[in-house]
Amino acid sequence: MIELPTRICTDTDLASSREWLETNGIGGYASSTVSGINTRRYHSLLTAASKPPLGRVRLLSKYEEILRIGDVEYPLSANRFPGSIHPEGFKLLESFALDPFPVWTYKINDSGISVKRSVFAVHGENTVVCRWEVVPGLRTLDEAVELELRPLLACIDYHSLRKETEQFDTSYIATDNCVWMQAAADQPAVYFNHNAEAVRETGDWYLDFEYAIEEERGFDFREDLYQPFSMHFDIYRNPAVTVVSTRQINYSDAEGFETVEKSRRSGLCEIAGADTELEKRLVVAADQFIVARGDGHTVIAGYPWFSDWGRDTMIALPGLTLSTKREGIAQGILKEYASYASEGMIPNRFPDEGETPDYNTVDATLWFFEAARAYAEHTGDFEFVKKELFKQFKKIIKRHIEGTRYGIKVDEDGLLKAGEEGTQLTWMDAKYIDEVFTPRIGKPVEIQALWYNALRTMEDFASRFKANKKGRKYGKLAEKVKNNFNRKFWNADARCLFDVVGEGFEDSSIRPNQIFAVSLHHSMLSASRAKKVVRAVEKELFTPFGLRTLAPSDPAFRPIYIGGPRERDSAYHEGTVWAWLMGAFLDALGRTYPKGRKLNQYREMIFASFLGHTEEAGLGQISEIFDGAEPHHPRGTSAQAWSVAEILRALGDRESDG
């Protein structure tokens, strides 16, 4: 439960900076702001996944909503146009609540009535239910009371902006309780199932909606939307208004949908055993990233614009599924990604268009091993690993030793080298056109930590599965990696680890990547060196919202993530704070300070910070990134899978300690 008071709801800036999100479990979603002003091109009431979990199309942008009492109009909606905001329905807002989905309460001046508006997505369907309910005092009014809804349609790929065009098919078909239309042959149709008394043709283009965040990010930020018809509801006859926007016809049981969805979401918290407010919020948030892919599941990396990424999926898997006691979904994700393995690699990204995944990453595949290890340890289901994954894992290790795409190959010293000019293979993957900002070609520190962890994991699996010859091979190579890593990566001057070691160079930048050499299940560092690494990261990189990607003392440090695409990409990993790194930092603290006092102090501070954050940007969610400088404004996506997952995992670790 998140509730925002009148003070926030009626403030344009505060209400417009808080975003809500509804997802449907197959890649589609609805999202906007508390004020009702769309600030992103991605905001809409129905973004449908035409090829689940991708092929996303923004169908219904929003409704213009007008309540009429006699001759007086009370607009409930709000839009930003050049030089003005019109109308300003948020000024009537008394409160906003996320309980469990978005609910607005409008106080209609001195009329004695309020309007409650709610929005929720139906799980497993490209369907969104919008409801308006007029509550008490209605019968004391002598005048007629009517609600008019005017749908505004985009009907376009969700990355794009709609412009007025004659190619937009403006025709529609209306039956007793349904109106449907299809803007173009290659676009899905949208159905409006309603309980209106009348539907009237309008047929207008509304021009020049402005999206503030798109403007801030240096993109085209103006859009035209088509308004085909209006729906009119006699509130005296029916004080509860319902419109179900969907890709399917004859949806009418809105109350049934609502009951089922409330039960499903409360069940998630019960299954997870969530008891604190932060846990409950994040368990529900975690569910929003888990979507169907084929016969299994995958993870949407972030809303509103990311698709499913292999790296993000594997990093997020323990927090999203194991910490929430949804082990079956974890198994499905691991099996699904194993089926896509190619040349010893799992996909980095499934593109929005087309069926061929991208395999341009060195770390996603290594995180695959850690996700499987965490699953097996958590569930005891080593039989699944043996049956479904172990054979594929052996192939992956073999291809990494022999060499695979993008120069990924084990060197003579046993360490894993990767990268070619013009590529960015690690998680620090910002690129603008042909300019790569953190190429990290050579031997990146966290890749060695992940490679060692994968080898030791395979040694353990092989021993358990009686493949002793293979196990000895993995163990011998792991020992070689450990010895050469400690010899080549220790930065004696800075008392921490180099970020990248290559042919004739050592990158001494203080970055968070070294924390994984301490935090991963199998570590190569002595207790003394591990503690020094943690101290360096703590001193230079720690913030209450995550770790900076570069020390402020570095001349290349970029404290603010703002501006056009190149400005932002060049700052993405040059000081920007990433929330997901907090999980590894807490793991490392727990390993190096085993008595727990310091760890507990950090945990309480961090959890308090994120509890507050869940009410300030993506409501109930955790943002992708934050500025590297105080006050650490949230940036990037307003809902990021690995941000939520790693804080959830840390919350679970705290309980297991207790």
**Inter-residue contact 312 to 299 (CB < 8 Å):** yes
The pLDDT assigned to 251 comes to: 63
The pLDDT assigned to 135 comes to: 84
The pLDDT assigned to 483 comes to: 98
4-18 pLDDT, tens per residue? 999 999 999 999 999
Distance CA 386, CA 371 (A): 15
390-409 pLDDT, tens per residue? 999 999 999 999 999 999 99
The pLDDT assigned to 595 comes to: 82
The pLDDT assigned to 655 comes to: 58
Question: CB-hemisphere CA count at 13 Å for 428?
Answer: 27
Token output for 598: 């310091």
The pLDDT assigned to 249 comes to: 65
Which residues of the chain have a pLDDT value below 70?
Answer: 137-141, 248-252, 353-354, 654-658
The pLDDT assigned to 294 comes to: 84
**Inter-residue contact 299 to 317 (CB < 8 Å):** yes
The pLDDT assigned to 594 comes to: 85
**Inter-residue contact 259 to 199 (CB < 8 Å):** no
C-alpha dihedral sign at 123, 649, 520, 466: negative
The pLDDT assigned to 237 comes to: 84
| Domains annotated on the chain, with CATH | 2-262 (2.70.98), 273-657 (1.50.10.10)
For 415, which DSSP code? Answer: P
> DSSP for 291-306?
EEETTEEEEB-EETT-
Distance CA 440, CA 443 (A): 8
**Inter-residue contact 227 to 274 (CB < 8 Å):** no
Distance CA 49, CA 264 (A): 21
The pLDDT assigned to 188 comes to: 92
Could you tell me the pTM of the whole model? 0.96
The pLDDT assigned to 257 comes to: 86
The pLDDT assigned to 657 comes to: 62
b/e map of 524-546 (b: 16 or more CB within 10 Å)? Answer: bbeeebbbbbbebbbebbbbbbb
The pLDDT assigned to 459 comes to: 98
Helices (H), 323-444: 327-338, 364-379, 382-384, 390-402
> DSSP for 318-335?
IIIIITTT-HHHHHHHHH
The pLDDT assigned to 250 comes to: 61
Question: Where are any strands of DSSP class E within 71-197?
Answer: 72-75, 78-81, 84-88, 93-98, 102-107, 114-121, 127-135, 145-157, 173-174, 178-181, 190-194
